[in-house]
């Protein structure tokens, strides 16, 4: 007799096979609903809150080890780091001042041209909790959530550029889907020419693909790709990737262009979350008389296909 | 045979000869307690959530699956398909994966464990390890197929190598998870 085996004459509920079929079907249903729709966010957030203390406890040894490491760091190493950081600060302070001047100038020019003023977005500094844990998706978890004002589909940056986008927000943590996630799309433009296109993630370790570029377009190896600001998710002008290869020999109507991400995807510990603008209703042509306004309107129209709801379309497309 | 001719009752013999040896001496242990099962599942979840660097993360053994498999085999009254499903949901949220992915895997695992329960416990250790490896691999394959159908992409070949490696931890797991039962058995005498 196997331990724990009740006598066979006792009623033991539905048979094991029936229970298996029920829960397997329920899992498949969950898989289907979670891939296609957004209805399960509440369930996910609830479980995430319950899981939070366990996660914090699991992280505790590493945090403690880091703190001990900091405590025993040699004075020389700290001084060296301090000097390097001061130099960096000087460099970036200069850049920031220039940027501020440029921003003021820009605002004045916009006023002169009667363009809509660019809204500034709120940012949150966050710390990464976990790397990719699921082998099928490229994701990280950060230590701030709904309680800290993080919103879904905000952009996430590291010092070198965009690393991804918030896809799940729970009370105390959020999940970030990285740019390299397969079929994750990012609206970009080539910094040199201003030509707009869409950058596709192809999975971890595989270069990203710039799609919908005609063979006649002016693209060179080494071109920097920055966010175009279309789709209202990313602020315009953030570094995304660098073009690494151009394959003109395909028989298709588009060139095959690959690019590597600018940000150290999944390697920086501290990150910046930049809130997404809530997509405004499409402006009527009279309200947006400038070229910029029109292109924005156009993008809003195509947004539904490419990048409007990244968390929803990411897996399905 | 007359009852009078039976030898007086004695404690179970030390297993000296091969003919008298039970198939699995663990069968003589008292049943595990629910609190111990819960605590061990929580501890393995805790170990599983311990952050690892990118290099080692794909090689993380599937301890939660192994513990679940163990309890499905040895405590089917407490741990079964529904426990597997719930644990899978928790793992899905912890991993940030699609809801239902681990739930399906663990449901499958729990069912396999329950179905083959009587066979697993009667095997010698090396055969148990092979069996556990097969079960874990089967459930990895199921998740792989489902994810491929919904357009997922596998980033590392480690995914299919980890289950057999995890199965090698089965004897150790068995030793650790019998702690409470061994203690209960000792206090009975």
pTM, rounded to two decimals? 0.70
The minimal CB distance from A135 to the residues B54, B118, B156 is found for: B156
Cβ atoms of A197 and A214 within 8 Å: the answer is no
Q: Say what the pLDDT of residue A308 is.
A: 38
Q: How many angstroms away from the CA of A114 is the closest CA of chain B?
A: 45
Give the CA count within 13 Å in the CB-facing half-sphere of A118. Answer: 19
Helix (H, G, I), strand (E, B) or coil at A286: coil
Asked if A3 and B31 come within 8 Å (Cβ–Cβ), the reply is: yes
Q: What are phi and psi of A294, to 5 degrees?
A: -65, -45
Q: Is B172 on the interface with A (CB under 8 A)?
A: no
Contacts of B97 in chain A (CB under 8 A): 133-134, 136-137
Q: Say what the pLDDT of residue B43 is.
A: 92
Contacts of B154 in chain A (CB under 8 A): 135-136
Q: Is A300 on the interface with B (CB under 8 A)?
A: no
Confidence class of residue A7 from pLDDT cuts 50, 70 and 90? low
The minimal CB distance from B82 to the residues A3, A23, A175 is found for: A23
Contacts of A34 in chain B (CB under 8 A): 98-100
Contacts of A267 in chain B (CB under 8 A): 54
- Taking only the tens of pLDDT, chain B with its 189 residues reads 445 566 666 666 565 555 555 556 666 677 788 899 999 999 999 988 887 776 777 788 889 999 999 999 888 888 889 999 999 999 988 887 888 889 999 999 999 998 888 888 888 888 999 999 999 999 899 888 888 887 666 767 788 899 999 999 999 988 888 888 888 877 765
Cβ atoms of B122 and B24 within 8 Å: the answer is yes
Q: Which range (A35-44, A297-306, B23-32, B107-116) has the least confidence?
A: A297-306
C-beta atoms surrounding B55 within 10 Å:
7
Q: Say what the pLDDT of residue B130 is.
A: 93
Q: Which residue has the higher pLDDT, A266 or A102?
A: A102
> Which pairs count as long-range contacts for A285-289, CB under 8 Å and 24+ apart, including other chains?
A288/A116
Q: Which residue has the higher pLDDT, A290 or A237?
A: A237
Digit-coded pLDDT (tens) for A79-108: 888 999 999 899 989 999 999 999 888 888
Cβ atoms of B81 and B111 within 8 Å: the answer is yes
Spatial distance between the Cα atoms of A163 and A186, rounded to a whole number of angstroms: 11
Cβ atoms of B142 and B108 within 8 Å: the answer is yes
Asked if B153 and A54 come within 8 Å (Cβ–Cβ), the reply is: no
The minimal CB distance from B81 to the residues A19, A129, A267 is found for: A19
C-beta atoms surrounding B96 within 10 Å:
24
Joined tokens for residue A148: 């800290």
Closest residue in B to A181 (Cα) is B153
Helix (H, G, I), strand (E, B) or coil at B109: helix
Confidence class of residue A112 from pLDDT cuts 50, 70 and 90? confident
Q: Is A245 on the interface with B (CB under 8 A)?
A: no
Segments in chain A forming alpha helices (H): 16-36, 41-71, 75-113, 291-306, 310-313
Q: Is B96 on the interface with A (CB under 8 A)?
A: yes
Spatial distance between the Cα atoms of B165 and A20, rounded to a whole number of angstroms: 26
A-B contacts (CB, under 8 Å): 171
Question: Taking CA A306 as the corner, what is the angle to CA A219 and CA A289, rounded to the nearest 5 degrees?
Answer: 80
Chain A contacts in chain B segment 128-167 (CB below 8 A):
143, 146-147, 150-156, 158-159
Element holding A155 (H helix, E strand): strand A155-158
Contacts of B108 in chain A (CB under 8 A): 20, 24
Helix (H, G, I), strand (E, B) or coil at B147: helix
Handedness of CA A30, A34, A40, A46 (dihedral sign): positive
Q: Which range (A43-57, A113-127, B25-39, B70-84) has the least confidence?
A: A113-127
Q: Which residue has the higher pLDDT, A239 or A14?
A: A239
Mean pLDDT, rounded, of chain A: 77
Closest C-alpha to A188, from A160, A161, A166: A161
Whether this model's ipTM surpasses 0.90 comes out as no
Helix (H, G, I), strand (E, B) or coil at A294: helix
Q: Say what the pLDDT of residue A71 is.
A: 79
Joined tokens for residue B30: 């008292």
Q: Is A127 on the interface with B (CB under 8 A)?
A: no
Cβ atoms of A185 and A196 within 8 Å: the answer is no
C-beta atoms surrounding A244 within 10 Å:
14
Q: Say what the pLDDT of residue A305 is.
A: 39
Confidence class of residue A136 from pLDDT cuts 50, 70 and 90? confident
Spatial distance between the Cα atoms of A126 and A128, rounded to a whole number of angstroms: 7
Give me the residue label for tokens 């912890």. Answer: B94
Task: Report, in this order, helix, strand and coil percent for chain B, each rounded to 5.
Answer: 65, 0, 35
Confidence class of residue A8 from pLDDT cuts 50, 70 and 90? low
Segments in B75-169 forming alpha helices (H): 81-95, 101-115, 117-122, 125-149, 158-167
Distances in Å between the Cα of A257 and the Cα atoms of A160, A189, A222, B161 are 22, 13, 11, 34
Q: Say what the pLDDT of residue B97 is.
A: 80
Q: Which domains does chain A have, with CATH numbers?
A: 16-70 (no CATH), 123-280+291-317 (2.40.10.340)
C-beta atoms surrounding B145 within 10 Å:
9
Highest mean pLDDT among A132-141, A159-168, A221-230, B100-109: B100-109
Q: Say what the pLDDT of residue B155 is.
A: 65
Question: Taking CA A313 as the corner, what is the angle to CA B107 and CA A135, rounded to the nearest 5 degrees?
Answer: 45
C-beta atoms surrounding A196 within 10 Å:
17
Joined tokens for residue B46: 């805790």
Asked if A54 and B49 come within 8 Å (Cβ–Cβ), the reply is: yes
Contacts of A173 in chain B (CB under 8 A): none
Contacts of B88 in chain A (CB under 8 A): 27
């Amino acid at each position: 007799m196997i331990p724990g085996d009740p006598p066979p004459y006792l009623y033991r509920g539905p048979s094991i096979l029936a229970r298996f079929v029920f829960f397997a079907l329920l899992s498949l249903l969950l898989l289907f609903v979670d891939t296609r729709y957004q209805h399960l966010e509440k369930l996910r957030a609830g479980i995430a809150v319950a899981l939070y203390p366990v996660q914090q406890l699991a992280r505790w040894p590493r945090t403690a080890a880091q703190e001990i490491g900091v405590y025993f760091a040699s004075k020389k190493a700290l001084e060296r780091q301090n000097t390097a950081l001061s130099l960096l600060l000087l460099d970036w302070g200069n850049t920031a001042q220039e940027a501020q001047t440029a921003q003021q100038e820009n605002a004045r020019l916009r006023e002169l041209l009667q363009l809509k003023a660019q809204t500034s977005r709120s940012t949150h500094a966050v710390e990464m909790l976990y790397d990719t844990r699921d082998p099928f998706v490229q994701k990280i978890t950060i230590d701030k959530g709904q309680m800290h004002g993080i919103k879904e589909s905000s952009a996430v940056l590291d010092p070198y550029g965009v690393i991804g986008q918030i896809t799940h927000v729970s009370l105390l943590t959020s999940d970030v889907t990285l740019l390299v996630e397969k079929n994750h799309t990012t609206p970009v433009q080539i910094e040199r020419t201003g030509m707009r296109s869409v950058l596709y993630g192809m999975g971890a370790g595989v270069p990203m693909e710039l799609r919908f570029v005609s063979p006649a377009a002016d693209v060179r190896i080494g071109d920097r790709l920055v966010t175009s600001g279309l789709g209202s998710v990313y602020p315009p002008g953030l570094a995304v990737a660098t073009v690494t290869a151009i394959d003109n020999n395909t028989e298709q109507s588009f060139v095959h262009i690959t690019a590597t991400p600018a940000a150290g995807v999944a390697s920086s510990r501290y990150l910046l979350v930049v809130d997404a603008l809530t997509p405004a209703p499409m402006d009527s042509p009279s309200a947006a008389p400038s070229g910029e306004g029109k292109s924005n309107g156009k993008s809003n129209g195509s947004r539904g296909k490419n990048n409007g709801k990244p968390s929803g379309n990411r897996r399905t497309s | 045979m007359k009852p009078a001719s039976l030898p007086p009752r004695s404690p179970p013999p030390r297993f000296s000869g091969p003919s008298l040896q039970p198939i699995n001496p663990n069968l003589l242990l008292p049943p595990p307690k629910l609190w111990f099962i819960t605590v061990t599942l929580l501890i393995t979840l805790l170990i599983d959530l311990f952050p690892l660097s990118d290099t080692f993360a794909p090689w993380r053994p599937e301890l939660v699956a192994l513990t679940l498999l163990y309890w499905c085999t040895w405590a089917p009254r407490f741990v079964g398909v529904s426990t597997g499903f719930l644990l899978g949901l928790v793992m899905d949220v912890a991993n940030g994966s699609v809801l239902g992915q681990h739930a399906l895997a663990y449901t499958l695992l729990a069912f396999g464990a329950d179905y083959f329960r009587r066979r697993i416990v009667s095997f010698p250790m090396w055969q148990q390890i092979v069996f556990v490896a097969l079960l874990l691999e089967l459930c990895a394959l199921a998740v792989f197929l489902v994810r491929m159908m919904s357009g997922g992409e596998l980033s590392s070949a480690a995914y299919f190598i980890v289950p057999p490696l995890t199965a090698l931890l089965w004897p150790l797991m068995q030793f650790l998870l019998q702690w409470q039962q061994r203690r209960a058995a000792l206090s009975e005498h």
